[in-house]
Amino acid sequence: QVKLVESGGALVQAGGSLKLSCAASGRLFSNFAMGWFRQAPGKGREFVALLTWRHGRTDYADSVKGRFTISRDSAENTVYLQMNSLKPEDTAVYYCAGDQMAPDDGSTWDGHYDYWGQGTQVTVSA
> Cα angle at 17 between 69 and 116, to 5 degrees?
55
Q: What is the pLDDT of residue 30?
A: 86
Q: In whole angstroms, what is the distance from residue 97 CA to residue 39 CA? A: 13
pLDDT of residue 74: 82
Instruction: Give residue 75's pLDDT.
Output: 85
Q: What is the DSSP string of 72-106?
A: EEGGGTEEEEEE-S--GGG-EEEEEEEETT--TT-
Angle at 116 between CA 67 and CA 1, to 5 degrees: 135
pLDDT at residue 76, rounded to an integer: 85
Q: What is the pLDDT of residue 73?
A: 92
Residues of the chain with pLDDT under 70: none
Element (H, E) at 113: none
